[in-house]
Amino acid sequence: MHENPTGPTEPTDPVDAGQSRIRPARSSASTGLIFAICAYGMWGFLPLYFLFLAPSGAFEIVAWRVLFSLVFCAVLIVATHAWRPLVAALRSPRIVWTMGLAGVLIFINWQTFILGTLSGHVVETALGYFINPIITVLLGVLVLHEKLRTAQWAAVLISLVAVIVLSVGYGTVPWISLILAFSFGFYGLIKKRVGGHIDALSGLTLETLWLTPIAIVQLVVVSLISGLTFGTVSTLHTIALIGTGVLTAVPLLFFAAASRRLPLTTMGLVQYLAPVLQFIAGVVILHEPMPPERWLGFGLVWLALIVLTVDMVRAGRAQRRPVVDPI
């Protein structure tokens, strides 16, 4: 799902390039907010889109998603003449191998998300992305050795209690949620470390290049076991499968454009739009069960997110507050 490349040396993405040719009618912040809402809104409606792809299975959908994402990236690179950043990235073995690791993590995330969606666990996938900000904070401590503020520790502890409550509610550990949260958490960590050296389009291109052999193997296995559905159901179904590539790349490019225009605190608030939409889809549209203990678990997660968000906003304001030198 998300990429967050930042840094002064970063190449321009196609979304930014298109904007630069037209004199902006809105402020940079309002334009960035539109991009962010579009990105997270598209991610929020993905479960319904993948359910529309029936009778395609999760492994076939992910394989086509990888291949058509690569095709879409190639078309964008040709259309925008964005070869230079990609070639520069290919000349750096560190970036190439790092993108390979990022590709493995996002592949795990995609596969788990679609398996969860097609098996009737949309609410549990939403929980994974609600937990993700907490996991990101926790990884900052464990991997980057960052020091947490009191409120951040409180959010982590509340989330731990929530996972225990939800484990009781589900009758088992919510593995789908945890795999989604940790895979995307580590993915974001990797992207943050190389974000200043590669743009979103080149990064996604390299990731899908690494995943292409895996996607091909998956398609071969699916064709031998159950047969491929691509091109056999209907014209609309075939177009929808091809569209998975567009729905993978476009939100990432929107996100990259938004991250350049908005402060981190604003991006942190908008990110909850995707799991909120997924949760609504699971409960209201798909009528997935929500017993009391599950509501309690989600309530604890939302409490942790409120604590984390308030702390994040306060910290952002403190950083922007001018420092008055003593006389």
Q: Are the CB atoms for 130 and 272 separated by under 8 Å?
A: yes
Q: Are the CB atoms for 41 and 277 separated by under 8 Å?
A: yes
User: Given the structure tokens 């979103």, which residue do they identify?
Assistant: 200
Q: How confident is the model at residue 7 (pLDDT cuts 50, 70, 90)?
A: very low
pTM of the model: 0.81
Enumerate residues 6+ apart whose C-beta is below 8 A from 260: 6, 16, 32
State pLDDT tens for residues 143-170: 877 777 888 888 888 888 988 888 887 7
Sign of the torsion formed by the C-alpha atoms of 130, 134, 137 and 139? negative
**What share of the chain in percent tops pLDDT 70?**
87
Say how far apart CA 174 and CA 164 lie, in whole Å: 9
User: Mapped to the 3 state alphabet, what secondary structure does 65-85 carry?
Assistant: HHHHHHHHHHHHHHHHCCHHH
User: How much is the average pLDDT of 135-142?
Assistant: 80
Say how far apart CA 215 and CA 66 lie, in whole Å: 7
- Stronger pLDDT, 225 or 322, i.e. the higher one: 225
Give, in order, the Cα–Cα distances in Å from 287 to each of 91, 153, 176, 284, 301: 50, 34, 19, 5, 21
- Res 16: pLDDT: 54
Neighbour tally for 61: CB within 10 Å: 27
- Stronger pLDDT, 67 or 309, i.e. the higher one: 67
Top mean pLDDT of 79-88, 238-247, 285-294 is at 238-247
Say how far apart CA 316 and CA 263 lie, in whole Å: 9
**Does position 287 have pLDDT exceeding 80, yes or no?**
yes
Which amino acid does the sequence have at 112?
Answer: T
What is the average pLDDT score of the chain? 83
Two tokens at 116? Answer: 């969860």
Segment among 56-65, 102-111, 184-193 with least mean pLDDT: 184-193
